A and B are shown apart, each in its own frame.
Chain A
Amino acid sequence: MSKQDAIFTPIGTNENNQKGKVDKAVDLPEPTETSWKDLGLSKEDLKEMYESMYLQRRFEERAMQMYQKGKFGGFLHLYIGQEAVSTGTAWALNSDDDIITAYRDHGFGLVRGVTPESGMAELYGKAAGCSKGKGGSMHFANVEEHFWGGHGIVGGHIPLGAGIAFANKYRETGRITACFFGDGAVHQGVLHETMNMSQLWQLPCIFAVENNGYAMGTSVRRHSVGEIVDRADAYGMKKKVINGMDLFTVYEAMKEMAEEVRKDNQPWFAEIRTYRYRGHSMSDPQKYRTKEELQEYQKVDPIERLKRLMTEEKIAGKKKIEEIEEKVEKVVLDAVEFAENADFPEPEELYDDMFVEEDAKFHE
């Protein structure tokens, strides 16, 4: 690798894709050195965060299993590997701060009020799903808890995040918006339009790229020049690179940014480096990476590392952890059972929610 590459491109894969050669897709920055105590987290918080991350993981593993059994269709984009991002964010933000994300949305859904039951039912296309079976995997949503949904057009929801921030500023709600998207979305024009407007109008928003190494099957190195985070420079926007495989790092960074945004309405551009363990969707043959590469990231798995920390620091013993995991296991199995037994939407629900005020004229 030339010096030029080392300076201007993130560490990528694919130029050397031979079996056995590890060529990391994302270069993880150092995790935070601040201890959980100094971050203001309690033992209880840690146990709850563990439970949340473990739930997201097991929810998706079960979903994958059910998908493979042919229980439901559509796309299924799994978040596995990235749980520290959703979890750290949810704990760092106020519960009424607004979150909007792309289609890999199960994690954010589960930390923002989409229950395992309503989430699983949504995957099954059942009426009891969080979006009444009309959205599916890509469109989890929970308006009650300010989760503005999963969005399926890459980059398309980014200006929505700015707009929600605009409304918060205009209405002086004191809320901030966190708008998440993937590394692929960085190359959509609308991201740049939105960054410019947001800096110009000083919108209280954190734009967070979850750089998981791949835009579908194209590694960051093959789809991007320079460092993603440096896009912020062109707009004079504050920027940060965050290790997204470390829960406390995400928590600390999000909290710091959120507090600043709340004070000064200056938006942030954050590149959260993480890794997607599964394929882009279920039909992905993953020819673009090696098993060894995946294993490198699994060594720093956020859930395993939190578990280890909790044991080492005697926050939760083996028994306590098993208890949490068994509880989650049951919740997820119950969710599957719930989804299995739930009703499909009635045929006449096809036309429901086309408009707030129903108007039969539209269906003629």
Chain B
Amino acid sequence: MPEREIAEQKMSYRQAVREAMREAMNRDDRVYLMGEDVGLYGGCFNVSEGMLEEFGKERIIDTPLSESGFTGCGIGAALGGMRPIVEIMTVNFSLLASDQIINTAAILLHMSGGQFNVPIVIRMATGGGKQLAAQHSRSLEGWYSHIPGLKILTPATVEDARGMLWPALEDPDPVLIFENTTLYNFEEAAPVNGTQVDITSAKVRREGSHVSIITYGIGLHKSLKAAEMLSADGIEAEVIDLRVLRPLDNQTIFESVRKTHRAVIVDEGWKSVGLSAELSARITENLFYELDCPVERVCAAEVPAPYAGHLEKASLPQPENIVETVRQLGGIYG
């Protein structure tokens, strides 16, 4: 049977997020956008450009620089029957709102015995790589994924950037979406009609048989590049895009590792007590006898992000580090 053709158009990750928000706002008038400079300015990363003109100031709301206040306000509005999209400029500033996210949004349903659900979507930019120094370059999505009660999405493709928002808004519980700042200009062909995607599973983005590289966000792009470099060497890496950091999709990860018997985790977060440690633990707990060699991790250097370009580059996982790590895996050359 011939595959039904879906019209595609090239668009940037930034445009994809904007289109997703426009579609959601047109679809449901309970949806509104609230955050710092999302209106008149068009968003710190230009994501919401033009939306104020299109939807008006009742629905595109510029907030004061009060992360805790407006995030809490979004949570309250969600309790009151709205479907807020709260944009926190970057994950770094979300720490000011972490009380609201962690002490309120994540727990209200359970603590109230099922009475109060919080259907909020909180979007924020994350990641380093733009020489913004230590206070503007964090990758804390793994840290948020420690918290029961939250759902954590990390769209790495244009399709996901566009397709994850609506299901996230439809979800009756709090969903955090982390958009890597270095991806906003990334362009890719994506379905014109804004097809939705699932927000529960990981995806194999490249098939391979020798090693499973497990990653998400910007790490996906670096890992795919590394996989191409490895391929020239005769090593075929399977690249898994986690897409959802909480709940982790064990099944897709385990299936891949059962096939390749080797796993490398690539995470721009820190290694210690982090997401990569959790993934490694899950793999060793469940697939110990399937492994041909220990699980390896390529993560950020355990320092605050430095400003100097070459230092920052050295502090983050690069395709070369991934290649190097894979090459040293036991038995990788057969």
Contact = CB atoms under 8 A, between A and B. Distances in A.
Interface in A150-194: 151, 153, 156-168, 170-171, 189-190, 193-194
Contacts of A139: 111-112
A159 B247 CA distance: 28
Given A160-B79, A197-B63, A362-B148, A354 B109 contact: yes
Given A132-B113, A189-B68, A354-B148, A171 B81 contact: yes
B77 A135 contact: no
Interface stretch (A34-42, A66-74, A141-149, A264-272): A141-149
A107 to B, nearest CB: 18
Given A162-B76, A164-B80, A361 B115 contact: no
A167 B116 contact: no
Contact of B113 (A135, A158, A194, A201): A135
Contacts of B248: 361, 364
B113 A160 contact: no
A159 B114 contact: no
Interface size class of B (residues with CB under 8 A): 35 or more
B68 A163 contact: no
Contact of A159 (B75, B109, B171, B172): B75
Nearest to A161: B76
A196 B110 contact: no
B149 interface: yes
A165 B73 CA distance: 9
B81 A143 contact: no
Interface in A104-159: 129-135, 139, 141-143, 148-149, 151, 153, 156-159
A315 to B, nearest CB: 37
Contacts of A159: 68-73, 75-76, 100
A171 B84 CA distance: 13
A362 B100 contact: no
Contacts of A161: 76
Nearest to B251: A361
Interface size class of A (residues with CB under 8 A): 35 or more
Contacts of B77: 163-164, 166-167, 170
A194 B68 CA distance: 9
A171 B113 contact: no
A167 B79 contact: yes
Interface string B243-275: 000111110000000000000000000000000
A313 interface: no
A15 interface: no
A359 B74 CA distance: 25
A30 interface: no
B278 to A, nearest CB: 11
A356 interface: yes
B173 A356 contact: yes
Nearest to A196: B64
A130 B72 contact: no
A173 to B, nearest CB: 8
Contacts of B109: 353-356
Of B116, B200, B248, most buried by chain A (CB within 10 Å of CB) is B116
Nearest to A159: B72
Contacts of A352: 114
Contacts of A201: 61
Interface of B: 30, 32, 58, 61, 63-64, 66, 68-82, 99-100, 103-104, 108-117, 148-149, 171-173, 200, 246-250
23 contacts: A131-B111, A149-B112, A153-B99, A153-B104, A156-B72, A156-B99, A159-B70, A159-B71, A159-B72, A163-B73, A163-B78, A166-B73, A170-B32, A171-B81, A190-B69, A193-B64, A193-B68, A193-B70, A200-B64, A354-B149, A355-B149, A356-B172, A361-B250
Given A133-B113, A162-B76, 11 more contacts: A134-B112, A135-B111, A143-B115, A156-B100, A158-B72, A165-B80, A167-B78, A171-B80, A353-B112, A355-B172, A359-B200
Q: In the A-B complex, list the 3 residue pairs whose CB atoms are closest, starting with the nearest.
A: A163-B76, A159-B72, A167-B80
